[in-house]
Amino acid sequence: MISQFFILSSKGDPLIYKDFRGDSGGRDVAELFYRKLTGLPGDESPVVMHHDGRHFIHIRHSGLYLVVTTSENVSPFSLLELLSRLATLLGDYCGSLGEGTISRNVALVYELLDEVLDYGYVQTTSTEMLRNFIQTEAVVSKPFSLFDLSSVGLFGAETQQSKVAPSSAASRPVLSSRSDQSQKNEVFLDVVERLSVLIASNGSLLKVDVQGEIRLKSFLPSGSEMRIGLTEEFCVGKSELRGYGPGIRVDEVSFHSSVNLDEFESHRILRLQPPQGELTVMRYQLSDDLPSPLPFRLFPSVQWDRGSGRQALNVRLHLPLPRGVVSLSQELSSPEQKAELAEGALRWDLPRVQGGSQLSAPLLPPSFNGPPSHGLSTSAPPLGLGPASLSFELPRHTCSGLQVRFLRLAFRPCGNANPHKWVRHLSHSDAYVIRI
């Protein structure tokens, strides 16, 4: 049972406030929440807070605080799940979730909240049921973008860009306005993996953990069936092995309840009729045995260790240094890169790393009596150095090796051209730690 729901901006300004039961406080609860949150001592958790018979439970999502208050001892799992579902729902209806979109669509948000929750009880969160009741249309701002110009193409010729969807293409409201018929039928399918790795100082792997997700965002009219074909070598659990090539194995898989698994056993095909909006089709986990080698290695230096032709983006190395190190001299290979000292640690930013390349950054802290680069040749490294952690994004690469073979739609829209289908593969780091 929820008493109030509110959305605060990252600076604590209330954007949305709704009181469902009229039994508590008033608008200043939102302010109270923010004061409590900012005044919290470092070792206490802000997720659930208590004040005067009222529990505040919140999540942070795209820079916003989504908060509910309740006076009862409720299930925290359900409430957090509801909050993240609300975040997705608002994102679906407003295009994307953010301070700007929320404040442009206040009426729509209130209308949604009215339907989702009644008297503090969840009624429904399915996009399908809600769309019958929602009258307001989303206001989307279309900022001027150079991309629009470039995709027009010279003399009407098709350019390379027009075959690639802009990265912001998926962030638009699900409900196409009823008047606008030119809306594209599009499907976005993302295979996203989060990698957390721990490598010991001698290079041996201590922990590998891959959390993968297949996310689908559909703008097709609901009820249209689609089939997603996964790599045939894909297998679940340790016992099963398929094909002769290197198997792609994951430890645990869970599917969304709307997925039909009839063809999964034989052909690794997922059949589903997705509702409009975002949906996590499949989640999987893989630990310890990784089929492909790890993307980065750090001997004395960081090495990007995959086939050429690919690249990693936004690589950042974070290396705590012993206290007393106040400055360091650097020789970096390109001006794009940046290395700086902050809060007793080294930060080395590499906007782009080409596949197969080996980078070195001879960094020499003056007060540090060691070999020029952190060589492992001599004695053990001093205490207080390391462990180094990397953060990065690897487009078009999955660490488990899982690929989407095809995405077929049974549905043919009348009049319109074939629906656009976009498939992305992406790995990014959750924690990539290398002990020195």
Partner 1 sequence: MPYLGSEDVVKELKKALCNPHIQGDRLRYRNVIQRVIRMPGVQEYIQQPILNGLRDKASYVRRVAVLGCAKMHNLHGDSEVDGALVNELYSLLRDQDPIVVVNCLRSLEEILKQEGGVVINKPIAHHLLNRMSKLDQWGQAEVLNFLLRYQPRSEEELFDILNLLDSFLKSSSPGVVMGATKLFLILAKKFPHVQTDVLVRVKGPLLAACSSESRELCFVALCHVRQILHSLPGHFSSHYKKFFCSYSEPHYIKLQKVEVLCELVNDENVQQVLEELRGYCTDVSADFAQAAIFAIGGIARTYTDQCVQILTELLGLRQEHITTVVVQTFRDLVWLCPQCTEAVCQALPGCEENIQDSEGKQALIWLLGVHGERIPNAPYVLEDFVENVKSETFPAVKMELLTALLRLFLSRPAECQDMLGRLLYYCIEEEKDMAVRDRGLFYYRLLLVGIDEVKRILCSPKSDPTLGLLEDPAERPVNSWASDFNTLVPVYGKAHWATISKCQGAERCGPELPKTSSFAASGPLIPEDNKEREQEFPDSGALMLVPNRQLTAEYFEKTWLSLKVAHQQVLPWRGEFHPDTLQMALQVVNIQTIAMSRAGTRPWKAYLSAQDDTGCLFLIELLLEPENSEMQISVKQNEARTETLNSFISVLETVIGTIEEIKS
| Residues found near partner 1 in the complex (CB under 8 A) | 1, 22, 42-48, 50, 53, 55, 57-60, 72-78, 80-84, 114, 118-119, 121-126, 133, 135, 194, 196, 198, 206-207, 209, 211, 252, 254-257, 283, 285, 287, 318, 320, 323, 343-345, 383-384, 387, 389, 391, 430-431, 433, 435
Q: Who contacts 208 (Cβ-Cβ below 8 Å, separation ≥6)?
A: 195, 196, 197, 198, 286, 287, 288, 289, 290, 294
Find tokens 């002990």 and name the residue.
Answer: 435
> CA dist 210 to 60, 235, 280, 283, 406, Å?
23, 15, 16, 11, 23
Rounded CA separation 193/212 (Å): 4
CB of 156 to partner 1, least distance (A): 43
CB of 128 to partner 1, least distance (A): 11
Task: Supply φ then ψ for residue 318, to 5 degrees.
Answer: -125, 115
Find tokens 């249309």 and name the residue.
Answer: 137
Residue (40 or 410) nearer to partner 1, CB: 40
Q: Who contacts 427 (Cβ-Cβ below 8 Å, separation ≥6)?
A: 192, 193, 194, 195, 295, 393, 394, 397, 398, 399
Residue (185 or 429) nearer to partner 1, CB: 429
How many alpha carbons fall within 13 Å on the CB side of residue 74?
22
Contact, 153 vs 162, CB < 8 A?
Answer: yes
Residue (122 or 409) nearer to partner 1, CB: 122
Residue (189 or 321) nearer to partner 1, CB: 321
Give the rounded distance of the alpha carbon of 168 from its chain centre. Answer: 14
How many alpha carbons fall within 13 Å on the CB side of residue 187?
27
Rounded CA separation 353/312 (Å): 5
CB of 412 to partner 1, least distance (A): 31
Residue (83 or 302) nearer to partner 1, CB: 83
CB of 261 to partner 1, least distance (A): 13
3-state secondary structure of 385: coil
Give the rounded distance of the alpha carbon of 340 from its chain centre. Answer: 27
Rounded CA separation 345/320 (Å): 4
Rounded CA separation 125/123 (Å): 7
Contact, 185 vs 419, CB < 8 A?
Answer: yes
CB of 344 to partner 1, least distance (A): 5
Residue (405 or 428) nearer to partner 1, CB: 428
Residue (138 or 286) nearer to partner 1, CB: 286
Residue (76 or 243) nearer to partner 1, CB: 76
Residue (74 or 407) nearer to partner 1, CB: 74
CB of 122 to partner 1, least distance (A): 4
Contact, 310 vs 355, CB < 8 A?
Answer: yes
CB of 307 to partner 1, least distance (A): 27
CB of 79 to partner 1, least distance (A): 8
CB of 349 to partner 1, least distance (A): 15
Residue (59 or 174) nearer to partner 1, CB: 59
Residue (223 or 384) nearer to partner 1, CB: 384
CB of 138 to partner 1, least distance (A): 18
Rounded CA separation 371/278 (Å): 52
DSSP states along 36-81: HHHT--TTS-SSEEEETTEEEEEEEETTEEEEEEESS---HHHHHH
CB of 78 to partner 1, least distance (A): 3
